[in-house]
Amino acid sequence: MCYGQQRPFSRDNLTPTRVVRLPNDNAVVVADLRGRLAETEARLARARAREAELSRRLNEMKRFVSVMEILETYLKRRFREQQEYVSGLFSPSPLLVLMVLGLSSGPKGEKVGRHLLTSPQAYLLPVELVMAVD
């Protein structure tokens, strides 16, 4: 029996009362019990349907979270790749550094400095401009 359907405890419940029931009275009690049983079964069916719906929604949310985690991992990797690509665009290549510093090989392969660009932005010059300086 559900908690909400019980009568509150009182002293009147302690004294046993003998009620003589008529055969017709038993039929009323049985009908009442059958009605209460039907209500309980209906509530149970609704609770099971609600549980099934909540389970379905939980599984759907778990799949959604999994997809979001996969997307997050992919986007982080792509961001890192793009970051590396952009930093590669703005960082001087070894050839460009040598050209900006004006270093070249001498007749025996030794490094000989021809001229030195002193501008702080010299490392950002495109290769074509550095070659024009030579």
CA distances from 106 to 30, 62, 113, 114, 124 (A): 114, 67, 9, 10, 26
In terms of C-beta distances under 8 Å and separation of at least 24 residues, what long-range contacts does 77-86 make, across chains too?
none
Whether 107 and 82 map to the same domain: the answer is no
- Please report where in the chains the tokens 């690509």 appear, as a residue: 85
Residue 10 covered by a domain = no
**Predicted local confidence at residue 37, as pLDDT:** 97
pLDDT of residue 31: 95
Domain range for 81:
21-91
49: Cα within 13 Å, side-chain hemisphere: 6
One domain, residues 86 and 101? no
pTM assigned to the model: 0.43
| Residue 97: Cβ within 10 Å count | 14
Taking the chain (134 residues) in consecutive chunks of 10 residues, what is each chunk's mean pLDDT?
54 54 81 97 98 98 98 97 91 60 53 47 48 46
> Which pLDDT belongs to residue 119?
47
| Same domain as 115, residue 86 | no
pLDDT of residue 70: 97
Sole residue written with tokens 């009362």: 17
106 shares a domain with 66: no
